[in-house]
Amino acid sequence: MSERLQSVTYSFGTREEDDGDGSGSAWFHILYKNINVNADGRIADPRDGGTTLSQADWTWNRSSYFLHWTNSSPRQASPEVTGVVHDTSASEVTLLCFGTPETVQARFARISQHPSSLSSSYSSLSTWRSALGDPYLLFATVLEEISVHQDKIIWDFSRVFGKVERATLDQAQGVDRGEQEHDFVGLHNMAKHIIYLKESSDATINILGALDEAHDMLLSPSGAASLGAQVARIHQSTRLALQYRRRFLESQNLRLTSLEKRMANVINLVS
């Protein structure tokens, strides 16, 4: 809770219950930059009373998630989930979400209506019941939506920056012969946005790294040996989903690195 109040970039934690029945909890907090583009194709703060500085948007996405599972260790074959070694009559998985982005809300709304939409990438994670076999699947689903949202934000910013970059080059080459001065405030704010977007992407990658380590601890050698075949496949698919999401974010970082260098070139050009 303190991380949310202090607006830290990210945090992750996990705890195993002392009752020895396989129960545990995990939680994470994330703060990432938001970019809003208005009808004129410029970055603008959409809030009433928000900043009116050129290319400025001081809005952020801040959300927290708490996951708890009870009796999630393998017990006996369940007739409700074919092949899953789990006592689902006693198992419960609870995910609490705070400040959830609309994209995450929409995803879970689809899951409630169409249980097969839990995972868009891996067929063995295709139903919500799979979360009983591996509770971290819910975190993987949340982070998938957050990373896709971040990707959209970066592309929205890239399109605005591309126009600014082209206008700057045209002025430097003399194509735009007007006496319009360079928008130094706008350039400063765009450079700052890139810094914050890179920080946000790094934070999400770090969360995925911590989540992957916690998932490995859940799959200790003794625990893995007692898993049923179907549950083992669910754990493996969750791990693959986390690894794929991390590579997806690393590709975002490559694009942000490119934007950083292009931004530096533009600033050098107008200096």
pLDDT tens per residue across all 271 residues of the chain:
566 667 789 999 999 877 666 788 999 999 999 999 999 999 999 999 888 999 999 999 999 999 998 864 444 434 443 333 334 333 788 999 999 999 999 988 888 777 655 655 544 455 677 788 888 999 999 999 999 999 999 999 999 999 999 999 988 887 555 556 789 999 999 999 999 999 999 999 999 999 999 998 876 544 444 556 777 788 888 889 999 999 999 999 999 999 999 999 999 999 8
Distance between CA atoms of residues 231 and 48, nearest Å = 50
- What is residue 92's predicted lDDT score, i.e. its pLDDT? 86
> Minimal CA–CA distance to 164: which of 148, 146, 179, 184?
184
- What is residue 99's predicted lDDT score, i.e. its pLDDT? 92
- What is residue 249's predicted lDDT score, i.e. its pLDDT? 96
Task: Supply 262's token pair.
Answer: 């292009």
- What is residue 222's predicted lDDT score, i.e. its pLDDT? 46
Distance between CA atoms of residues 110 and 120, nearest Å = 12
Q: Which residues contact 28 (CB under 8 A, 6 or more apart)?
A: 10, 11, 12, 13, 64, 65, 139, 207, 210, 211
- The angle that helices 229-270 and 184-218 make with each other, rounded to 10 degrees, is 160
> Minimal CA–CA distance to 133: which of 224, 216, 20, 232?
232
